[in-house]
Structure 1
Amino acid sequence: MTSDHAARVRGEAIPRERVAAFLSGGSASPSRGAGNCATSPNGAARADRQRQRWATQVVITDELARQACAQRSLAPPDVVLPMRQLTVPEPDVATLGSIIAAALTHSPAARALLTDLEREQDIPESAVRDYYDRNRDRYLTPDALRRGIDPYDEPAPTDIHPYRHVRHGIESELRQAAAHRAFFTWLDEARAEVEYAEGYEHPGDPTHQDHEHHH
Structure 2
Amino acid sequence: MERVDAFLSATSHNAPADGRRHIPALTKDRLARADRQRRRWATQVVLIDELARRTCAERGLPVPPDVSPAAMLTVPEADVADLGSIVAAALAHSPAARLLLTTLENEQHIPEEAVRDYYDRNRDRYLTPQALRRGVDPYSPSAGPADFLPYERAREGIERNLRQAAGRWAFFGWLDQVRTGVEYAPGHEHPGDPTHQDHEHRH
TM-score, normalised to structure 1, is: 0.85
Query: Letter of the aligned partner of 2:4 in structure 1?
Result: V
Alignment of 1:180-199 (within 5 A): 180-199=168-187
Q: Unaligned stretches of 5+ in structure 2?
A: 15-24
Contact 1:28-1:102 within 8 A present in 2 as well? no
The answer to whether residue 97 in structure 2 is matched with residue 110 in structure 1 is: yes
Partner Cα separation in structure 2 for residue 185 and residue 114 of structure 1: 11
Q: Does 1:123 align with 2:110?
A: yes
Q: Contact conserved, 2:72 with 2:93, CA < 8 A, in 1?
A: no
Q: How far, CA to CA, are the matches of 2:110 and 2:3 in structure 1?
A: 39
Q: Which has the higher strand share?
A: 1
Q: Which has the higher contact order (CA 8 A, sep 6+)?
A: 1
Counterpart for residue 160 of structure 1? 148
Query: Residue 135 of structure 1 aligns with which residue?
Result: 122
**2:57 matched residue in structure 1:** 70
Aligned to 2:160, what secondary structure does the other structure show? helix
Deviation at 1:81, TM superposition (A): 5.1
Deviation for aligned residue 1:39: 6.7
d(CA) in 2 for partners of 1:197, 1:102: 21
- State the 4+ residue runs in structure 1 displaced beyond 3 angstroms: none
* 1:27 and 1:84 in contact (8 A); partners too: no
Bigger fraction of residues in helix = 2
Counterpart CA distance in 2 for 1:40 and 1:187 is: 35
Aligned residue among 71, 75, 79 for 1:84: 71
**What SS does the corresponding residue of 2:29 show, helix, strand or coil?**
helix
Unaligned runs of 5+ in 1: 1-15, 30-37
Distance in 1, Cα, partners of 2:5 & 2:72: 14
Query: Which of these two proteins has the greater Rg computed from alpha carbons?
Result: 2
Say which SS state the counterpart of residue 196 (structure 1) adopts.
Answer: coil
Instruction: Provide TM-score, normalisation by structure 2.
Output: 0.90
Distance, in Å, in 2 between the alignment partners of 1:210 and 1:87 is 27
Count, aligned residues: 192
